[in-house]
Amino acid sequence: MRLSELTEGRVAGAAGDVEIAGLTADSREVEAGFLFAAMPGTRMDGAAFAADAVARGAVAVLARPDADLPAVDVPVIADADPRRRFALFAARFFGAQPAVVAAITGTNGKTSVADFTRQIWARLGRRAASLGTLGVIGPAGRRALAHTSPEPAQLHRLLKELADDRVDHLAIEASSHGLDQSRLDGLRVTAAAFTSFSRDHLDYHATAEDYLAAKLRLFGAVMDTGGKAVLNADIDEIDAIVAVCARRRHEIITYGAADADLRLRRRVSLAAGQRLELDLFGIRSEIELSLVGDFQALNALCALGLAIACGADRDRALAVVPELKGVPGRLEHVADHPAGAAAYVDYAHTPDALARALLALRPHTRGRLIVVFGCGGDRDRGKRPQMGAIAARLADLAIVTDDNPRGEDPAAVRAAIMPACPGGVEVGDRAAAIRAGVDRLAAGDVLLVAGKGHEQGQIVGDEVRPFDDAAEVRRAVAGLAGGG
Whether 134 is covered by a domain: the verdict is yes
Residues 300 and 343 in one domain: no
74 in the same domain as 102: no
State the pLDDT at residue 199: 55
The answer to the question of residue 88 being in a domain is no
Residues 421 and 369 in one domain: yes
Q: Is residue 90 part of a domain?
A: no
- pLDDT score at 42: 59
Q: Which domain holds residue 154?
A: 95-323
Are residues 207 and 306 both part of a single domain?
yes
**C-alpha–C-alpha distance, residues 122 and 140, integer Å:** 13
Q: Is 467 contained in some domain?
A: yes
Question: Do 217 and 338 belong together in one domain?
Answer: no
Claim to verify: residue 307 and residue 422 sit in the same structural domain: no
Is 137 part of a structural domain of the chain? Answer: yes
Q: Say whether both 302 and 354 belong to one domain.
A: no
Question: Is 464 found in the same domain as 370?
Answer: yes
Give pLDDT, residue 257. Answer: 94
What pLDDT shows up at residue 484? 46
Give the residue from 268, 291, 323 where a domain finishes.
323
Q: 135 and 32 share a domain?
A: no
Cα 21 to Cα 23: distance, rounded to the nearest angstrom: 7
pLDDT at residue 76, rounded to an integer: 94
252 and 306 share one domain = yes
The verdict on 151 and 227 lying in the same domain is yes
CATH of the domain at 51: 3.40.1390.10
pLDDT at 45: 86
The pTM for the full model equals 0.85
Do 371 and 285 reside in the same domain of the chain? no
- pLDDT for res 476: 96
**Given 80, 115, 145, which residue is the final one in a domain?**
80
Instruction: Report if residue 380 sits inside a domain.
Output: yes
Q: Would you state the pLDDT for residue 480?
A: 83
Amino acid 165: pLDDT: 97
pLDDT tens for each residue of the chain, 484 residues long: 999 999 999 888 889 999 999 999 999 999 999 999 999 875 678 999 999 999 999 999 999 999 999 989 999 999 999 999 999 999 999 999 999 999 999 988 999 999 999 999 999 999 999 999 999 999 999 998 877 779 999 999 999 999 999 999 999 999 988 999 999 999 999 999 999 987 565 556 568 889 899 999 999 999 999 999 999 999 999 999 999 999 999 999 999 998 999 999 999 988 779 999 999 999 999 999 999 888 899 999 999 999 999 999 999 999 999 999 988 888 999 999 999 999 999 999 999 889 989 999 998 899 999 999 999 999 889 999 999 999 999 999 999 999 999 999 999 999 999 999 999 999 999 999 999 999 999 999 999 999 999 898 999 999 999 999 999 999 999 988 655 4
Instruction: Determine, yes or no, domain membership for 86.
Output: no
The CATH number of whichever domain residue 171 belongs to comes to 3.40.1190.10
Domain boundary among 297, 323, 349: 323
Predicted pLDDT at 201: 56
The three-state (H, E, C) secondary structure of the chain, written as one string:
CEHHHHCCCCCCHHHHCCECCEEECCHHHCCCCEEEECCECCCCEHHHHHHHHHHCCCCEEEECCCCCCCCCCCCEEECCCHHHHHHHHHHHHHCCCCCEEEEEECCCCHHHHHHHHHHHHHHCCCCEEEEECCEEEECCEEECCCCCCCCHHHHHHHHHHHHHCCCCEEEEECCHHHHHCCCCCCCCCCEEEECCCCCCCCCCCCCHHHHHHHHHHHHHHHCCCCCEEEEECCCCCHHHHHHHHHHCCCEEEEEECCCCCEEEEEEEEECCEEEEEEEECCEEEEEEECCCCHHHHHHHHHHHHHHHHCCCCHHHHHHHHHHCCCCCCCCEEEEEECCCEEEEEECCCCHHHHHHHHHHHHHHCCCCEEEEECCCCCCCCCHHHHHHHHHHHHCCEEEECCCCCECCCHHHHHHHHHHHCCCCEECCCHHHHHHHHHHCCCCCCEEEEECCCCCCEEEECCEEEECCHHHHHHHHHHHHHCCC
Answer yes or no: is 456 within a domain.
yes
Please state the domain count of the chain. Answer: 3
User: Residue 446 is part of a domain; what is its CATH number?
Assistant: 3.90.190.20
